[in-house]
Amino acid sequence: MFDTRSQPNNFKSELTVLFVDDEENMRLSAEQCLQLEEFQVVTCSDAKQALAHLEPGYPGILVTDIRMPGMTGIDLMEQALALDPEMPVILLTGHGDIDMAVSAMHKGAYDFQQKPFDPDHFIRIVSHALRQRALVLDNRRLRRSIESPDLLDSLLVGKNPQMQALRDTVLDLADLPVNVLIHGETGSGKEQVATCLHQLSHRKAAPYVALNCAAMPEHLFESEVFGFEKGAFTGADRQRIGKLEYAKGGTVFLDEIETMPLNLQVKLLRVLQEMKVERLGSNQLVDLDFRLIAATKTDLQAASEQGEFREDLYFRLNVAEIHIPPLRARREDIPLLFTHFIYQLAQDYDREPFEPNLQDLQELMQHRWPGNVRELKNIAQRFVFGRQGQKLAVSELMKTPAAKSGVSLQCQMRSFERTLLENALRRHKGQVQPLLEELDLPRRTFNELMKKHGLERKDFSI
């Protein structure tokens, strides 16, 4: 998937370089060199000491000399890769060990460095390896989030800065006792935001009641929302608790609130002011306890100024405000979302996920997505199910030709180059050597491209 941001810079503080060499001077020299660059370092004098640190998911990389008493660096590498096949292992070689190191590269070594090494080159190799390790570990966390989803990451998917800010805002507001008004275009994810606000609050164990104001006929609104007593009107043969009363201790979500008729807005305003409701056919007020979240696709402030929405209700709803960006404003998230949906649907329906090719991604990137994330998910569903088990091109799934986004040729070429690399990275699960062989790509070029595109493989391994 795409992510135009630079790669994270916190890998230095979060990950460790496990450095193994039987020569004390070499350990001291390497430790000083790495610490000057603010890397976390643990040094060991032999393979046995190093193995005591290693485990599956070890938060770091292994740098080891090849020739050591007892267990060699090659043997240590094999045991490390047996524990975690995606752990980067950098070998330190003497002049006579280069052929051995090259052979080890085919067995899974990340790279090798000839002694005495150039400090600047050594730092570059270590930095690249740590970045890869950070991406692999994040990738695993992302996989776990599908099996045991983290609410925000699974419902509010995206790496665009606006989406990161949105998740932060949701976390900030989730447990505050205030009404929230969510702004967003059709299909942008307003209900997902409301769900997160409820599930992350202390009200999560109580009911979550979602109502679409546009889908509820006006003559049914009062009886459904406020409730009624037996005999309140023809056909009322029993008492009915309204949605607001039913949501005791929980959350009420009113979607498309801009469609609510003005006369019902007055009644809702009174309920919100007093937090009491009077069922139809009753003279008794019932205490209410709910938090209100409303959503709109229009500018309610402008609507209130034009007399189309009550201004007093607008201010009652708009204690806190959340804006959801449209999909076209975070275009780099489109491949991320599409792949997220593909793998999620494939898992849900026990299907082998089809992999989008460059032409598919071009179609996705150039479409304007008037239906936003909902429209994209629909395309992903049809993509996963295909036709008689056969993959369909995205262009076949679009009902109408994609409205062009105005993305320049240079931008498209850069996106395709990045996508090609990311596809290969996901296929090989972060293993560099098979990727280099598949793409016939020199390692140095690969490293430069990784830096150029700020790739994060975690986003492409859902």
351 by Cβ neighbours in 10 Å (0-12 / 13-18 / 19+) ranks as: middle
Q: What does the domain layout of the chain look like in residue ranges?
A: 11-147, 161-323, 329-460
Predicted local confidence at residue 402, as pLDDT: 42
Predicted local confidence at residue 148, as pLDDT: 40
Reported confidence tier of residue 155, pLDDT bands at 50, 70, 90: confident
What is the token pair recorded at 186? 């059709």
Predicted local confidence at residue 31, as pLDDT: 92
Torsions phi, psi for 431 (to 5 deg): -75, 120
| Pairwise CA distance, residues 53 & 44, whole Å | 10
How many residues can be counted in the chain?
A: 462
Q: Which residues of 174-191 are buried (b: 16+ CB within 10 A; e: fewer)?
A: beeeebbbbbbbebbbbb
**How does the average pLDDT of the chain come out, rounded?**
83
Is 329-460 CATH 1.10.8.60? yes
What share of the chain in percent tops pLDDT 90?
A: 41
Predicted local confidence at residue 18, as pLDDT: 96
Per-residue pLDDT for 398 more than 80? no
Reported confidence tier of residue 8, pLDDT bands at 50, 70, 90: very low
Predicted local confidence at residue 272, as pLDDT: 94
* Domain at 11-147, CATH class: alpha beta
Reported confidence tier of residue 411, pLDDT bands at 50, 70, 90: low
Mean pLDDT of 418-436: 76
Task: Select the more confidently predicted residue: 77 or 340.
Answer: 77
Query: How, if at all, do strands 60-65 and 16-20 pair?
Result: parallel
Predicted local confidence at residue 114, as pLDDT: 86
> Angle at Cα 295 formed by Cα 240 and Cα 402, nearest 5°?
125
Per-residue pLDDT for 86 more than 60? yes
Mean pLDDT of 124-139: 86
Mean pLDDT of 392-399: 65
Long-range contacts (CB closer than 8 Å, 24 or more residues apart) made by 306-311: 308/258, 309/258, 309/262, 309/265, 310/262, 310/265, 310/266, 310/269
pLDDT digits 0-9 by tens, 174-183: 888 889 999 9
Least reliable range by pLDDT among 19-23, 37-41, 434-438: 434-438
Q: How far is the first Cα of the chain from the last one, in angstroms, to the nearest whole number?
A: 10
Query: How, if at all, do strands 227-228 and 240-241 pair?
Result: antiparallel
Reported confidence tier of residue 419, pLDDT bands at 50, 70, 90: low
Predicted local confidence at residue 5, as pLDDT: 31
User: Cα separations (Å) of 262 from 4, 223, 361, 405, 410?
Assistant: 45, 17, 45, 38, 51
Mean pLDDT of 180-187: 95
Reported confidence tier of residue 395, pLDDT bands at 50, 70, 90: low
Domains 161-323 and 329-460 share a fold: no
Task: Select the more confidently predicted residue: 77 or 437.
Answer: 77
pLDDT digits 0-9 by tens, 16-32: 999 999 999 999 999 99
Predicted local confidence at residue 158, as pLDDT: 86
Predicted local confidence at residue 430, as pLDDT: 75
* CATH architecture observed for domain 161-323: 3-Layer(aba) Sandwich (3.40)
Predicted local confidence at residue 222, as pLDDT: 86
pLDDT digits 0-9 by tens, 251-291: 999 999 999 999 999 999 999 999 999 998 888 999 999 99
| Pairwise CA distance, residues 430 & 275, whole Å | 55
What share of the chain in percent tops pLDDT 70?
A: 86
Torsions phi, psi for 103 (to 5 deg): -60, -40
Per-residue pLDDT for 318 more than 60? yes
Question: Where would I find the beta strands (DSSP E) of 263-407?
Answer: 276-278, 285-287, 290-296, 320-323
Mean pLDDT of 242-247: 93
Per-residue pLDDT for 399 more than 60? no
> pTM of the prediction?
0.57
Predicted local confidence at residue 374, as pLDDT: 93
